[in-house]
A and B are shown apart, each in its own frame.
Chain A
Amino acid sequence: MLTAEIKNLTKTFGSLAAIDNLSLGIEKGKITGLIGADGSGKTTLIRLITGLLLPDSGSVSTLGLDPFTRRDELSLKIGYMPQKFGLYEDLTVIENLRLYADLKGVPYDFDKVLSMTNLEPFQDRLAGALSGGMKQKLGLGCSLLDTPEFLVLDEPSVGVDPISRRDLMKMVRELITPDTSVLWSTAYLDEAESFDMAVILDKGKVIYNGRPDGLAADKKEFESRVIELMGGYKREESLIAKNYQPIEVIEECTVLAEKLEKKYGNFYAVKNNSFCINRGEIFGLLGPNGAGKSTSFKMMCGLAKPTGGTAKIMGIDILENPGKARSNLGYMAQKFSLYGSLTLRQNLEFFASAYGIKFVDRKKRVDEIIDIFGFKEIEDQKSEDLPLGFKQRLSLACALIHNPPILFLDEPTSGVDIIARKEFWNHITALAKRGVTILVTTHFMDEAEYCDRISLFYKGEAIAVGTPDELKKKADTDNMEDAFINLIMGAGVDTK
């Protein structure tokens, strides 16, 4: 029995075929993971299945209905959660739930959803003020209100910490019936490996459709098999790191946080945060959404003023001399924060001037960066039109344009596919070997393994600091994800 049957489906945008003559069946009563690189057509396929987009040719039958002509009937049976947070940020949690209950024609009975999402105490909080993980839980809760026959989730776990991610998975498994079908697109391969079925897309075509264990026996092997199917990843020497000009450093701590504190009213966003990062070290800040990682980050680079303590970059106090301290930094923000309407080259030129590279040297430096990063063919494209992986590389290029001795990376790989992530970390680890000091936040636990040391953040405080192995040992487990969850949960119990 098939929940969705797709035959010879094609959808093009301009000259680009997002879905290319694709045929696929999605089985009833199963959780199907949808995997693929950025731009492989995952979101487009989901939108075609739900009838949000019209195809160029081919047919789709979802729950026995044609989504293009009978969407009214289909919408009664389908629960959909888009990639972007689709709820109203200026409405409270309960108002959003009531709205969707009315739209779906179900009574106001939210006890189950509220307790599953742990949102009970936050019912009257504006949805926009929730942390990333809570927003996603609320979105999932809304799409599950009428216990749909077919649940379609477009990357619900992007930018979500491991604990919230586990909660999302639990919610889905507990709130669906054995007959419910789920289509779950994800960038987390460990997530996909745990599903009943896996569909791998590449350039708008299905390259694998079957049980995850039909592909590999365990998580690690699954990952390497998927990477192989997606075209493979070969570790090469990082040109970016090779072309980096190391800078003499005398300070022992290139990045130093001294009792950093940020207080909003009676609430501590960050409390007594101290650490010292040595030259060439990769230091990871890990923690659940809303634990104070981003606030720490902003204070470290002088974007937010601490209410206590200070930070020193290459020995320069960020509060006393922010301009000079920052000139030693390359900063890559959480969201794509370059100028979308400028071309790739114009963005680089802008950042070169913003970081104070002299006019005479600017063109040479930009040419050099374009060469090293392999941007030659796309340098005149508008940066908003670039695929996500390229946007992220461009952000890194902008952060490195002034050859800084320190890099700050705030969730640099959020939403990026596995191969692009591997490439990215290849550059980062190579840069660290060349002496670049790196401060990074991430929600990918496999990336945490690349860190030399990790500071685990919870409710504004560092609850554990150490190498990945030390943390795993402390939590008495052999993988980073469990270490994260155990240590945070342990701390959570203590503070209650």
Chain B
Amino acid sequence: MKILKALIKKEFLQIIRDPSSIIIAFILPLISILIYMYGINLDTVKVTVGIKNDDPSVEVQTLVKSFGHSKYVRSKVYDNESSLSEDIVRSKLKGGVIIPNDFSSKLSRKQTGDLLIITDGSEVNTANYVQNYASQIANKWLFTSKHAPYASKTIINLQMRVWYNQDLNSHYFILPGSIAITMTLIGILLTALVVAREWERGTMESLLTTRVRKIDIVLSKYIPYFTLGMLSMMFNVFMCIVVFQIPFRGNLLVLFGVSGLFLFTSLGIGLLISSVLKNQFLASQVSLGIAFLPALLLSGLMFPINSMPIFFQHLTRILPPRYYITFIESEFMAGTIWEIVLLNSVFLTVLGVILFGLVYKKTDMRLTK
């Protein structure tokens, strides 16, 4: 017990002395929260659309105006078509609307009026936005114009209610997700270096000739970095809830409990990489490549798991972030749902224990060369 205490104390002293661990634990999360908060936006965005109107009729002018009034569209009126298409080519415009000169006269004759919408297919998402906004604006205009009676009637009235995230604010799930990313980073990247560092610097060789047991070495790595990780987690949660006012409907105890389990698995991955490779450079590369990036891309934070190919859907089952992100999103937005909490906790515990066992097994108590 005394040995373990001494080793843990040593590890804490090293953490305090080493600015990089403090940066990874507190500065990096802050930067990532700021990026997720202000840099990444999965919500609807305002697009610039060019309008070329060949129809001199007064009522079509109101259609052009209604493009200008939409909160999703910034409109720009063009006099000739070639400069409009030139601006699309130069990416100054995300799309264009061209109203032919017979548009209003056709409508007046109760015929179908044509409206050309040009979108930029090189950015598919934006192209969809332009298409939807333009048709919505056109339809709205139609129902308020004198041609309304001739428009086909909708007989179903759709009422929309969004649960958990009424404003469809993507920050409400991205920011809690960023906590998961940060904890993966701390768990894997920091610890990937610590065992390898001892081997590289030769301190492990000295340590091994003393009375230390394998379990002392393993625990003396788990415990300090677990503490650091949980401190960083608290800092993250504070930033999300208090500073950025992300609504939290769950239970803080449950949040920290499951986060602890998740951190336990991440530490396991990092320490396993470190113990096996015994080389800091390799360990940091490997932890980024096989641990961190999949956590970002395959966890369901950015891309929904059920839209992935079947193989990858199954692959996500062995990735701890998958369980944690499911949990943390629902904990923040929907509150504590015990079914989700328990199911994910069980998976995290199983993964964490397996990893702990592997770390223990792979911790060498002898040199190999």
Contacts and interface: CB of A to CB of B under 8 A. Distances in A.
Contacts of B9: 99
Interface in A216-244: none
B208 interface: yes
Contacts of B367: 47, 52-53
Contacts of A99: 6-7, 9-10
Interface stretch (B148-156, B184-192, B198-206): B198-206
Contacts of B3: 102-103, 105
A102 B366 contact: no
B210 A75 contact: yes
B161 interface: no
A91 B209 contact: no
Interface string A66-98: 000001100110101111111111110001001
Contact of B6 (A47, A76, A103): A103
B40 interface: no
Main secondary structure of the interface of B (DSSP, over half): helix
B149 to A, nearest CB: 80
B14 interface: yes
A83 B5 CA distance: 27
A230 B212 CA distance: 39
B177 to A, nearest CB: 34
B201 A84 contact: yes
Given A52-B208, A103-B211, A105-B2, A95 B13 contact: yes
A103 B18 CA distance: 23
A157 B209 CA distance: 20
A392 to B, nearest CB: 21
Nearest to A82: B205
Contact of A82 (B13, B202, B212, B368): B202
A393 interface: no
Interface string A360-378: 0000000000000000000
Contacts of B7: 99, 103
B90 interface: no
A91 B211 contact: no
A415 B3 CA distance: 34
B211 A104 contact: yes
A139 B209 CA distance: 13
Contacts of B5: 102
Contacts of A72: 211, 213
Interface in A373-420: none
A87 B206 contact: yes
B201 to A, nearest CB: 7
A355 interface: no
Contacts of B13: 90-91, 95
A84 B2 contact: no
B71 interface: no
Nearest to A142: B206
B10 A95 contact: yes
B14 A86 contact: no
A102 B2 contact: yes
Nearest to B15: A90
A104 B2 CA distance: 10
A108 to B, nearest CB: 11
Contacts of B202: 82-86
A53 B366 contact: yes
Interface string B346-369: 000000000000000000011111
B206 A75 contact: no
A76 B210 CA distance: 7
Interface in A27-86: 47, 50-54, 71-72, 75-76, 78, 80-86
- Max chain A C-beta neighbours (<10 A), residue from B9, B10, B368: B10
Contact of B201 (A52, A71, A89, A103): A89
B210 A103 contact: yes
A444 interface: no
B209 A78 contact: yes
Nearest to B206: A86
B17 interface: yes
Given A89-B201, A103-B3, A52 B10 contact: no
Contacts of A89: 201
A264 interface: no
B211 A105 contact: yes
Given A86-B206, A105-B2, A54 B366 contact: yes
A100 interface: yes
A75 B211 CA distance: 6
Contacts of B208: 52
B14 A102 contact: no
A49 B83 CA distance: 85
Contacts of A139: 206
Contacts of B213: 72
A407 to B, nearest CB: 31
B125 to A, nearest CB: 44
A421 to B, nearest CB: 24
B210 A100 contact: yes
A71 B208 CA distance: 10
A201 B368 CA distance: 21
B6 to A, nearest CB: 3
Contacts of A82: 202, 205-206
Nearest to B198: A88
Contacts of B2: 102, 105
A359 interface: no
A270 B253 CA distance: 60
Nearest to A103: B210
A82 B3 CA distance: 21
A99 B366 CA distance: 21
B10 A50 contact: no
B251 to A, nearest CB: 39
Nearest to A44: B369
A54 B366 CA distance: 8
Given A80-B206, A102-B5, 14 more contacts: A13-B369, A52-B205, A52-B208, A52-B366, A53-B366, A72-B211, A76-B211, A84-B201, A90-B18, A95-B10, A99-B6, A102-B2, A102-B6, A139-B206
30 contacts: A50-B209, A52-B205, A52-B209, A53-B366, A75-B209, A82-B202, A82-B205, A82-B206, A84-B205, A86-B202, A86-B205, A86-B207, A87-B203, A89-B201, A90-B14, A90-B17, A90-B18, A91-B10, A95-B13, A98-B6, A99-B6, A99-B7, A102-B2, A102-B3, A102-B5, A102-B6, A103-B211, A103-B212, A104-B210, A142-B206
Interface of A: 13, 47, 50-54, 71-72, 75-76, 78, 80-91, 95, 98-100, 102-105, 126, 139, 142
Interface of B: 2-3, 5-7, 9-10, 13-14, 17-18, 201-203, 205-213, 365-369
**Complex A-B, nearest 9 residue pairs according to Cβ-Cβ distance, in ascending order:** A86-B206, A84-B202, A102-B6, A80-B209, A103-B210, A82-B205, A90-B17, A52-B367, A99-B10
